[in-house]
Amino acid sequence: MVEDVPDVDPRSDGPVPLGMTEPGPGRGGVRIVIYRRPVEARADGERETARLVRDLLVEEVADLLGLSPESVDPSYDTPDD
């Protein structure tokens, strides 16, 4: 799922999240949410945006499965992509 911005307290000093996993519809379901504007602000161009989105998805799936991101996607976080 893609949302424009996360729902965060404007007084918070912490970093703005780029994505998260939340309970999904149905019993036991989850959905991964990527926040479009923070990702676009962090990335420099379309190629970097695509790499960042891929890395965020890999990290969230790895966390759900209790695995390392590299075991989910061996090319995780390699700058050559």
Beta strand spans in 1-81 (E): 2-3, 19-23, 30-35
The tens digit of pLDDT for each residue in 36-61 reads 999 999 999 999 999 999 999 999 99
Q: 79 and 52 in contact (C-beta within 8 Å)? A: no
Q: Is the pTM of this model over 0.95?
A: no
Q: Topology of 2-8+17-72 in CATH?
A: Zincin-like (3.30.2010)
Q: Mapping DSSP to helix (H, G, I), strand (E, B) and coil, where does residue 48 land?
A: helix
CA 59, 62, 64 angle in degrees (round to 5)?
110
In the chain, the percentage of residues whose pLDDT exceeds 90 is: 67
Is pLDDT above 80 for 24?
Answer: yes
CA distance 72 to 50: 17
pLDDT (average), residues 1-21: 86
